């Protein structure tokens, strides 16, 4: 059991509500920020217990911000912990928040878990995460719950929305105009899906470069006899047509 889970299980301070398997995930990504000047923002304060937990885990140099729609949460502020009252689906509130707080190293969306809330929060706050920071959206299982606007492959869920991240990550390799290189492509190193949490790790990226080193072990496949330029041209044209209709391609080498 890691220190965070240990804290949670022994917690007799303010109430915390977390899924137990999250603690291993947190520790895996957050450990490197401990005892550093980390800035953390958590959407969803509840009774303030998780903010106290982050403060304890990250140490005295940490600055912890919370956001909640419930005005009573304002009373839960304490040393190192500042709380803003507003809705995570209010774009203007989030834009204003960005003018008040510094760029954040770790952003945790543990708010209302409704689809619109998660999407708006991502759209407004992702660029306020530091270049080497982390963006976490929690309780993704609500994307499968009808109570929260979810449903398997249902349009508008955060899970369906986040599937676009996979394409955006690979845009440097796309040949089609429909997938341009974006600020997401240039700023994201990895996307980790865990049960109910996605962790987006940021890192500035430029166009990837491929290279070869060392000695060849056998002849290149292109030199095999049947492979002719005309066949290559024909297969390429056929594949372009199949791609246009989003059909699987034919084998080409």
Q: What are 78's two structure tokens?
A: 């304490």
Nearest approach, Cβ of residue 186 and ligand SAM (Å): 29
Comparison of 111 and 149: residue with beta carbon closer to ligand SAM: 111
Instruction: Name the one range near ligand SAM by CB under 6 A: 83-91, 98-106, 146-154, 217-225.
Output: 83-91
Does 110 contact ligand SAM by CB under 6 A?
Answer: yes
Residues counted in the chain: 253
CB closer to ligand SAM, 26 vs 33: 26
The contacts of residue 104 (CB under 8 Å, 6+ apart) are: 39, 40, 41, 65, 128, 129, 130, 133
Q: 119: Cβ–Cβ under 8 A, 6 or more apart, which residues?
A: 158, 161
Instruction: Choose, by CB under 6 A, the member of 40, 45, 115, 136 that binds ligand SAM.
Output: 45
Pairwise CA distance, residues 86 & 90, whole Å? 7
Eight-class DSSP state of 148: G
- The whole-angstrom separation of Cα 106 and Cα 23 is 15
CB of 128: closest distance to ligand SAM in angstroms?
16
Verify whether residue 148 is a known catalytic residue.
no
Choices 111-119, 205-213, 225-233, 244-252; region in contact with ligand SAM by CB under 6 A: 111-119
DSSP 251: P
236 is written with which tokens?
Answer: 């390429």
Please identify which residue in 4, 64, 68, 76 interacts with ligand SAM, judged by CB under 6 A: 68
Minimum CB–partner distance for residue 40 and ligand SAM (Å): 12
For residues 35, 132, 211 and 173, what is the CA-based torsion angle, rounded to 10 degrees?
Answer: 150
Catalytic residue set: 113
Q: Which residues bind ligand SAM (CB under 6 A)?
A: 16-18, 42-46, 49-50, 67-70, 87-89, 110-112, 117
């Amino acid at each position: 059991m890691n220190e965070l889970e240990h804290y949670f299980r022994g917690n007799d301070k303010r109430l915390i509500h977390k899924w137990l398997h999250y603690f291993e995930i947190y520790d895996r990504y957050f450990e490197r920020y401990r005892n550093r000047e980390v800035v953390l923002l958590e959407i969803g304060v509840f009774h303030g217990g998780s903010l106290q937990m982050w403060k304890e885990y990250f140490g005295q140099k940490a600055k912890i911000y919370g956001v909640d729609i419930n005005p009573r949460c304002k009373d839960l502020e304490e040393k190192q912990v500042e709380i803003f009252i507003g809705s995570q689906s209010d774009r203007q509130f989030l834009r204003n928040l960005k003018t008040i707080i510094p760029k954040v190293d770790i952003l945790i969306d543990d708010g209302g878990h409704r689809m619109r809330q998660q999407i708006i929060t991502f759209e407004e706050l992702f660029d306020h995460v530091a270049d080497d920071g982390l963006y976490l959206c929690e309780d993704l299982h609500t994307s499968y719950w009808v109570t929260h606007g979810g449903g398997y492959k249902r349009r508008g869920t955060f899970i369906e929305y986040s599937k676009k991240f996979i394409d955006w990550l690979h845009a440097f390799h796309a040949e089609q105009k429909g997938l341009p290189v974006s600020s997401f492509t240039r700023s994201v190193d990895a996307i980790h899906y865990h049960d109910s949490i996605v962790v987006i790790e940021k890192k500035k990226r430029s166009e990837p470069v491929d290279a070869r080193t060392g000695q060849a072990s056998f002849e290149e496949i292109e030199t095999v006899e049947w492979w002719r330029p005309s066949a290559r041209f024909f297969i390429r044209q056929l594949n372009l047509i199949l791609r246009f209709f989003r059909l699987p391609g034919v084998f080409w080498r």
